[in-house]
Amino acid sequence: MTIRICVAGATGWTGGSLVPAIEAAPDLALTGAVARRAAGKTIAGITVQASVAEALDAAAADVLIDYTSPEAVKGNVLAALERGVAVVVGTSGLAGPDYAEIDDVARRKGVGVIAAGNFSLTAALLQRFALLAAAHVPQWEILDYAGFEKPDVPSGTARELAERLGAVRAPAVGVPVEKLHGPKETRGAEIAGVRVHSVRLPGYVLSCEAVFGLPGERLSIRHDAGESAAPYVAGTLLAARRVREVTGIVRGLDTLLFGPA
C-alpha cells in the first residue's frame, strides 16, 4: 500500500531533495508540503501550507518527515503525533529530554517516531563503530565541525553520538573540569557525561569525530559530509517506510539498519 508522506521543510536543502525522491518512488506519495515563505504555492502538485497542523488537516498523511529548524521541530512532531501520524525527525536541535517527552506522547498515541542526527549510511556506521569502541575503551571525546552559519551547537550528529555513547558508560575523567587552571570552557561542553567541542568555521560542511584514547595509542572515527543532501535521502526514506512498524521513539539510523546496539 502506498505510504502518504507530508514533508515539513519541503523547500529547504534537504526537504527539496526528498520531494523528487518521493515522487519517483512507486510505494510513496507526497500528500503534504510545509514551508512558510512558499505557503499557497504548489510543489509537485501539492499546495504548500505554512504549518504542519494545516498541512495534516488539509490532506491525510501516514508519515511526517521533518527537516525544518531547531525552533520548529518539536511543535511539528507533537502536532503530527496528536493526529496519529508517525514521524521521521531529521531536524537537529532536540535534546534527550525532548526525545523522552516525544517518546511518551508517541507511546500514548500508539505511534512511531524515528529520529536520527544523521540519516546517511556512513554516519550510521560511525555511530555503530563508536558504540563498539566505547564498550572497550574507557575514555573519549567528540569533535563537531560545521560551517560558521550553522545556528545550533553541537550538530545533531554529535549530540546524538554523545548521548548514545554516554548511555554505554560515563567516560573516565583525567583532571575534573572544576580543578583545571585556565578557562574551563576550553574543555568543551558536557553532554550525557561526554565532552563535546564544536568548531564553526567557513570551509566546513559537517564533520563529526569520536576520539578514543588509551595510554600510548588513540583511535579516531570520523564522518565527513559533502555538499550534497543525497546521502540523507535514502536513509530518511528507509525510515519513512519502517516507522509505522514501531511504537514510541527509535533513535539512530544504525538502530534501524543493524538492530539495537
Ligand X SMILES: NC(=O)c1ccc[n+]([C@@H]2O[C@H](COP(=O)([O-])OP(=O)(O)OC[C@H]3O[C@@H](n4cnc5c(N)ncnc54)[C@H](OP(=O)(O)O)[C@@H]3O)[C@@H](O)[C@H]2O)c1
- Three cell numbers at 204? 566546513
DSSP annotation of 186 reads: G
Judge contact between 220 and 210, C-beta under 8 A. yes
Nearest in space to 9 (alpha carbons), one of 81, 87, 73, 80: 73
Cis peptide before 154 (omega within 30 of 0): yes
CB of 178 to ligand X, least distance (A): 32
CB of 228 to ligand X, least distance (A): 10
CB of 207 to ligand X, least distance (A): 13
Contacting ligand X (CB under 6 A), which of 5, 11, 188, 240?
Answer: 11
Question: Does residue 32 bind ligand X (CB under 6 A)?
Answer: no
Closer residue to ligand X (CB): 10 or 85? 10
Starting at the edge strand found earlier in the chain, the sheet holding 189-191 runs: 189-191, 194-200, 140-146, 206-214, 217-225
Question: Does residue 49 bind ligand X (CB under 6 A)?
Answer: no
* Spatial separation of the C-alpha atoms in residues 259 and 141, rounded to whole Å: 25
Question: Does residue 37 bind ligand X (CB under 6 A)?
Answer: yes
Contacting ligand X (CB under 6 A), which of 14, 31, 198, 255?
Answer: 14
Contacting ligand X (CB under 6 A), which of 64, 67, 141, 198?
Answer: 67
Binders of ligand X in range 111-130 (CB under 6 A): 116-119
CB of 179 to ligand X, least distance (A): 35
Question: Does residue 252 bind ligand X (CB under 6 A)?
Answer: no
Contacting ligand X (CB under 6 A), which of 31, 61, 64, 91?
Answer: 91
> How far does CA 248 lie from the centroid of its chain?
16
Residue closest to ligand X when measured from CB atoms? 12
Contacting ligand X (CB under 6 A), which of 6, 18, 22, 34?
Answer: 34
Q: Is 184 helix (H, G, I), strand (E, B) or coil?
A: helix
Closer residue to ligand X (CB): 91 or 198? 91
Question: Does residue 94 bind ligand X (CB under 6 A)?
Answer: no
* Spatial separation of the C-alpha atoms in residues 134 and 165, rounded to whole Å: 6
Question: Does residue 255 bind ligand X (CB under 6 A)?
Answer: no
The beta strand positions in the chain, using DSSP E, are 3-8, 28-34, 42-43, 46-49, 63-66, 86-89, 112-115, 140-146, 189-191, 194-200, 206-214, 217-225, 248-251
Closer residue to ligand X (CB): 28 or 225? 225
Looking from the CA of 120 toward its CB, the CA atoms found within 13 Å total 18
DSSP annotation of 171 reads: P
Question: Does residue 9 bind ligand X (CB under 6 A)?
Answer: yes
CB of 155 to ligand X, least distance (A): 7
- In the complex, the residues that contact ligand X under the rule CB under 6 A are 8-15, 34-38, 67-70, 72, 90-93, 116-119, 156, 232
